[in-house]
Structure 1
Amino acid sequence: MDQTVPGPLWQPTTLRRIPVVVHVISDAACVNGNVTDALVHSQLTVLNEDFRAVAGSPGGAGVDSKIEFFLATVDPSGNPTTGIRRYCNTTWYQDQGSYWLTIAWDTTRYLNLYTNSAAGSRGYVPFLPADPAGAVGQPQDRVVINWQAFGRVGPVVPYHKGRTVTHEVGHYLGLFHTYYSGCGTATAPACYTTGDRICDTPPNATSHKGCTASTSCGGVPVPIQNYMELTDDACMTGFSAEQVQRMRCTLASFRSTLAQ
């Protein structure tokens, strides 16, 4: 699925709910990275505001994907759970040691979200679902977030409003950066096979930081408000309609057992 499949089949007409397990990994002293339960719950609130484009919230200007997220209430063995797991391990905190082989829950049934140092990045997913070299449903299928860019209000400005998770879950559900492969072709049908493979996001040559309006690709405004840019949390306000369709397509085609 290197291109979006727009059209009525992938319109967000039904609600899909995804169970999440948050693996909070701190250092051996259980100090650095020790994200609170309250911050975890705040992050789930942000995810739902953003993916549901909740009116009056910072994500209210986007398109409602009708995808929701909730902390898992039952673990893979059928036991009650809070959906939050905690570990104190410096190697894992440094994003090393293949920790997912030890602690991942069934990745075909849960979104496994890990907080640690993310190896110094703000966050990442190891592959997109349609990547032929990917491993959907394997233990390494995950979202990793730097604990300093997690939750609302998070510890480090300007990535303190929870949008790093929104961005990375966008990747987890099949979205490219808006600047993927550069400008591409702005008009259909070529916009579905160039750039970010989506036609209703503006052509975008490279990543941007901050919230200063600028232009790219021959004078087109940069989509600083799109969750799939790298701008500050404060200026991100939504997914586009075709980004929503791509995520719905991903759920049906590559993560068919994930959502309820």
Structure 2
Amino acid sequence: MRLNTAFLALALAITSVSAAVPHLDHAVHGVRSASGSLVDRLCGTIITPEKKAAAEKDFSLKRVLATAVAANNWPVYINVHFHVVAANTSIEGGYVPQSQVDSQIEILNKDYKNTGVQFRLDNTSRTINADWFENVNPYTSEATLMKETLRRGGPETLNVYTVSFDNGYAAGLLGYATFPSDYEDEPKDDGVVIQYGTLPSGNLYPYNLGRTLTHEVGHWVGLYHTFQGGCDPETGGDEVADTPAQAVPTRGCPTFRPDTCPEQPGFDPIHNYMDYSDDVCMRGFTPGQAARFRDQIRTYRGINV
């Protein structure tokens, strides 16, 4: 895969981040063409086999199993603080209407319907700050200040921020997230940041049906990409038994593609929320993914699910 120089720089920056357990790097998605139009999803996260092994060892030592699904324990609700950060009060400046925020929560709940987890909008904050709107990305002081100022709640609370990613090497990103195991070391950094045009009815076609938040929340609750580590049976995989091994991310909206890990059972999960297909082609999580992330959020976020 050919990466532009900006994202090579991003990859180099990520590899320099400390590999201390249980921290995992942010998940970063999206790239624009030279003309500025959004053409693809791209993840700048590099989770080496060594880092993944250390993180999984930590999880195995601390793991608290989720309770058995029962009528009186389904679903568990996670409160959401939604922070609209904008350059001005126009939609083009990121000042999205409440209707889009409400629609995004509806999509999130629809996509997580069969997992045992649902989301409840607690509050929508609105901040006019052009510097944050344009310059926030995983490695800037603007992101740190924005989160320190706006973030609410503890590890059990989902904070979502909408910005533009319009400046520097982050131009074109769709979103990024922290993992549950990050919270202990970096509690103020916890949350999900997405491009405002990815909200339902936003302007980033074909990524404007709200599935960017679905995907990023997947990381926030502890899921890897379905193509994590490629086909290597020893170090690859997303630690979920019912998502077949996958060598490379899916692009566009295929109905079928040749299996990229033919030596291992199952066809690529090309319609999974943790892959990279277009929003319209993302269709679900597997039972194994739901079981894993329930254990993750009970272990690291203290959510009794």
User: Structure 1-normalised TM-score?
Assistant: 0.79
- The percentage of aligned residue pairs carrying the same residue is 33
Instruction: Give the 3 Å change call, closer, same or farther, for CA 12–227 of structure 1 in structure 2.
Output: farther
Instruction: Give the 3 Å change call, closer, same or farther, for CA 211–168 of structure 1 in structure 2.
Output: same
1:92 corresponds in structure 2 to 132
Which is further off, 113-122 or 162-171? 113-122
Deviation of the 1:218 alpha carbon: 1.7
Q: 1:211 aligns with which of 234, 245, 253?
A: 253
CA distance in 1, matches of 2:205, 2:110: 20
1:57 corresponds in structure 2 to none
CA distance in 2, matches of 1:12, 1:231: 30
Q: Conserved in 2, the CA contact under 8 Å of 1:123 and 1:146?
A: yes
Instruction: Give the 3 Å change call, closer, same or farther, for CA 29–68 of structure 1 in structure 2.
Output: closer
2:231 corresponds in structure 1 to 183
CA distance in 2, matches of 1:250, 1:113: 19
1:229 corresponds in structure 2 to 275
Residues 183-217 of structure 1 deviation map (CA, whole Å, 9 limit, x = unaligned): 233xxxx6xx6411111001100112111121211
1:110 corresponds in structure 2 to 157
Greater per-residue helix proportion:
2
Deviation of the 1:250 alpha carbon: 1.3
1:245 corresponds in structure 2 to 291
Deviation of the 1:28 alpha carbon: 4.4
Deviation of the 1:9 alpha carbon: 4.6
Q: Conserved in 2, the CA contact under 8 Å of 1:65 and 1:244?
A: yes
1:18 aligns with 2:70: no
CA distance in 2, matches of 1:235, 1:164: 12
- Secondary structure of 1:175's counterpart equals coil
**Deviating 4+ runs (over 3 angstroms):** 3-6, 8-13, 28-31, 134-137
1:37 counterpart letter in structure 2: Q
1:141 aligns with 2:190: yes
Residues 128-169 of structure 1 deviation map (CA, whole Å, 9 limit, x = unaligned): 2235xx54671110100111112x222221111111100000
Q: Conserved in 1, the CA contact under 8 Å of 2:87 and 2:94?
A: yes
2:262 counterpart letter in structure 1: G
Q: Conserved in 2, the CA contact under 8 Å of 1:163 and 1:227?
A: yes
CA distance in 2, matches of 1:255, 1:179: 25
Q: Highest relative contact order (Cα 8 Å, sep 6+), 1 or 2?
A: 1
CA RMSD in angstroms comes to 2.5
Instruction: Give the 3 Å change call, closer, same or farther, for CA 37–171 of structure 1 in structure 2.
Output: same
1:163 corresponds in structure 2 to 211
1:146 counterpart letter in structure 2: Q
- Secondary structure of 2:187's counterpart equals coil
CA distance in 2, matches of 1:10, 1:226: 25
CA distance in 1, matches of 2:215, 2:67: 20
CA distance in 1, matches of 2:66, 2:155: 23
CA distance in 1, matches of 2:117, 2:133: 30
Deviation of the 1:40 alpha carbon: 0.2
2:221 corresponds in structure 1 to 173
User: Structure 2-normalised TM-score?
Assistant: 0.68
How many aligned residue pairs are there? 228
2:176 counterpart letter in structure 1: Y
Deviation of the 1:232 alpha carbon: 0.5
1:61 corresponds in structure 2 to none
Q: Conserved in 2, the CA contact under 8 Å of 1:162 and 1:233?
A: yes
Q: Conserved in 1, the CA contact under 8 Å of 2:88 and 2:94?
A: no
**Structure 1: which 5+ runs fail to align?**
53-63, 73-82
1:130 corresponds in structure 2 to 181
1:47 corresponds in structure 2 to 108
**Structure 2: which 5+ runs fail to align?**
1-54
1:2 aligns with 2:56: yes
2:121 counterpart letter in structure 1: L
